[in-house]
Chain A
Amino acid sequence: MKKLILPLSLLLLLAGCSSSGNWGWYVIDPRTSGGWTNIKFLISGMGSTILISVIAASISIVLGLIVALPGQSGNRWLRLINRIYVEFIRSIPLLPMLFWVFYGLPIVFKSLGINVPIDPFWGAIITLAISDSAFTAEIYRSGIQSIARGQSEAAQTIGLNYVQTMRYVILPQAIRRILPPLANQFIYIVKMSAFASVIGMQELTRRANELVVTEYRPLEIYTLLIVEYLVLVLIISAGVRWLERRMGADERV
């Protein structure tokens, strides 16, 4: 709760300015029925934002590992594939990629005779997951490289193959170092999911845009939108810190 005091007091301070006539907090005043309806409408986008972010992040965590592992290989062609993927994907800005996936990919599918429509929901998830996977791959890379080489050598000498070495020796140690930057990426995905509004996904930002069109009150509505993201990110941060503490405790050093 302490963390909410600053933004809330800031809101109240701004509310005090309403007498000047520039502010119209009534649009989101929970004490009036109209304001309450508007607030409910805005917050109802929360579910989609969370769902898109969680699914995209989950895909990205798996995809990132699949992309990262060839980068550790002794085979230079596998390393090259990893480099090309990472450099290519992370150079594409999110918005153009979103347009390409949502408007372009269905055409590619159609020309291949595949009839897979891409709705805003999956369009947003695919874009966010692929875009983010280049970054998670780099996070995995630094995490894996931070584990001393002696660990994989010791694993080899007791007969473990590559997959077993990764699964039982390297990744369990790397995950503690990987977790904080992965959490950072998750927060990034939550914020980037706002772009899904431009392809019609009914999430937080889209709701705010739609309300602005009918109420003509951008200042108040976008302020509340920012607070919504703030609350969401603070909750995630608290959850990650809890997880880190728990994993640190498991270390039993």
Chain B
Amino acid sequence: MANAAIELVGVNKWYGDFHVLKDIDLSVGAGEKVVICGPSGSGKSTVVRCINKLEEHQRGTIHLFGRELTNESRSVASIQGEIGMVFQQFNLFPHLSVLDNLTLGPMKARGLSRADAQERARHYLTRVRIPDQANKMPKQLSGGQQQRVAIARSLCMEPKAMLFDEPTSALDPEMISEVLDVMVELAQEGMTMIVVTHEMGFARKVADQMVFMDEGEIVEHGPPDAFFGNPRTARCQKFLSQILQH
């Protein structure tokens, strides 16, 4: 697919002898949403971390917006900030206020003035529905608020695509929906997204493609209707029945 935003072909990765990713093929068109699920240790986080080069892949190719991504530092530097990343543990900078968390990237990596960066930060804080917390420290916010700040921090870089690595797994149950609501909104506005999550309600609502991974392989891959209605493999059926039971 020539016009894919993110394209992985035959990507393999090893940690020493351990084969974490086995021949991963994935093509994400601009504006598409992909949800990756699977048991822990299946390699789904590693896929996402290879796409923004927090991890290196050893074989296969990754193209972002038509440009090949190699493990050389120059190409690594060129993509960081263009692809937003939201972590399970938020990873806000605890020594900086919410506003400073948001302005750091635009000011230092993009060269925006403080005033412009702050204006942009306030815009995105409003979008994630916490416009009045700008001067607080991260620790003063709830988990759900912190994760929304983290989303806003990524959006401040005006990325072309967003990656989410289990964004709600570290949250208390009552805070999950406030984060998912923001993500649904983002999806509806046309952001290209890859989301690693077990929130199947969210997946049904926004996903264009569902990916099920197990033991480093993509086991099942397809549109959500077929994926949920009629999973082909036993592994995927078992997994879905386990997480949909509750």
A residues sitting closer than 8 Å to B (CB atoms) are 148, 150-151, 153-161, 164, 168-169, 172-173, 251-253
- Mark B129-144 against chain A: 1 for CB-CB distance below 8 A, else 0: 0000000010100000
Given contacts A251-B95, A253-B137, A158 and B105 within 8 Å (CB-CB): yes
User: Within 8 Å CB of A156, what residues of B?
Assistant: 54, 80
Q: Say whether B92 contacts A154, CB under 8 Å.
A: yes
User: Within 8 Å CB of B157, what residues of A?
Assistant: 158-159
User: Within 8 Å CB of B137, what residues of A?
Assistant: 252-253
What band does the interface of chain B fall in when counting residues whose beta carbon is under 8 Å from A? 20 to 34
CB of B229 within 8 A of chain A? Answer: no
Q: Say whether B95 contacts A173, CB under 8 Å.
A: yes
Known A154-B87, A173-B95; further 7 A-B contacts with Cβ < 8 A: A150-B87, A153-B91, A154-B85, A154-B150, A154-B153, A159-B109, A164-B108
Chain A residue with minimal CB distance to B97? A252
CB of B167 within 8 A of chain A? Answer: no
CB of B77 within 8 A of chain A? Answer: yes
Chain A residue with minimal CB distance to B82? A159
Complex CA distance for A164 and B108, rounded to whole angstroms: 8
Q: Secondary structure of the A side of the interface?
A: helix
- Mark B151-169 against chain A: 1 for CB-CB distance below 8 A, else 0: 0011011000000000000
Complex CA distance for A169 and B95, rounded to whole angstroms: 8
Chain B residue with minimal CB distance to A156? B80
Q: How far is the CB of A187 from chain B (nearest CB, A)?
A: 27
Q: Say whether B154 contacts A159, CB under 8 Å.
A: no
Complex CA distance for A157 and B84, rounded to whole angstroms: 6
Q: Say whether B87 contacts A160, CB under 8 Å.
A: no
Across the A-B interface, give the 5 residue pairs with the lowest CB-CB distance, nearest first.
A159-B81, A158-B105, A159-B109, A154-B91, A157-B85
Report 25 cross-chain contacts, Cβ distance below 8 Å, ordered by A residue: A150-B87, A151-B91, A154-B91, A154-B153, A156-B80, A157-B54, A157-B81, A157-B85, A157-B154, A158-B109, A158-B153, A159-B81, A159-B109, A159-B110, A160-B104, A160-B109, A161-B77, A161-B109, A164-B108, A169-B93, A172-B95, A251-B95, A252-B137, A253-B137, A253-B139
- Mark B70-108 against chain A: 1 for CB-CB distance below 8 A, else 0: 000000010011111101010111110000000011001
User: Within 8 Å CB of A151, what residues of B?
Assistant: 91, 93
B54 in complex: contacting residue of A153, A160, A164, CB < 8 Å? A153
CB of B52 within 8 A of chain A? Answer: yes
Q: Say whether A157 contacts B95, CB under 8 Å.
A: no
Complex CA distance for A153 and B85, rounded to whole angstroms: 9
User: Within 8 Å CB of B54, what residues of A?
Assistant: 153, 156-157
